[in-house]
Amino acid sequence: MYVLFLAIMTPDATAWQVRNNDHGMELRWKQIHITYEVDPSNDQNLSDAAIDSMISAATRTWSQPVGDGLAFEYRGRAEGKINPHDNKNIIYFENDWDYDSSLVGLTFIWSHPDGEIVGFDMALNTRDHDWSIDGSPGENDLLNTITHEFGHALGVDHSPTVQTATMFPSTYPGELNKRDLHNDDERAVQYLYAEGPGPEDDNVMGCSTVGARGAAHLAWFLPLIVTVGRRQ
pLDDT in tens, 66-120: 998 899 999 999 999 999 999 999 999 999 999 888 788 899 999 999 999 999 9
Q: Which CATH number fits domain 3-227: 2.40.30.10, 3.40.390.10, 3.40.50.300, 3.20.20.30?
A: 3.40.390.10
| Greatest distance between any 2 Cα atoms in the chain | 43
**Tens of pLDDT, residues 100-110:** 887 888 999 99
**Contact 149/210 with Cβ under 8 angstroms?**
no
Q: pLDDT-derived band of residue 197, with 50, 70 and 90 as boundaries?
A: low
For residues 36 and 73, the answer to whether their CB atoms sit within 8 Å is yes
Global pTM reads 0.83
Find the angle CA(47)-CA(142)-CA(8) to the nearest 5 degrees.
Answer: 145
Specify the pLDDT at position 14.
Answer: 52
pLDDT at 216 over 90: no
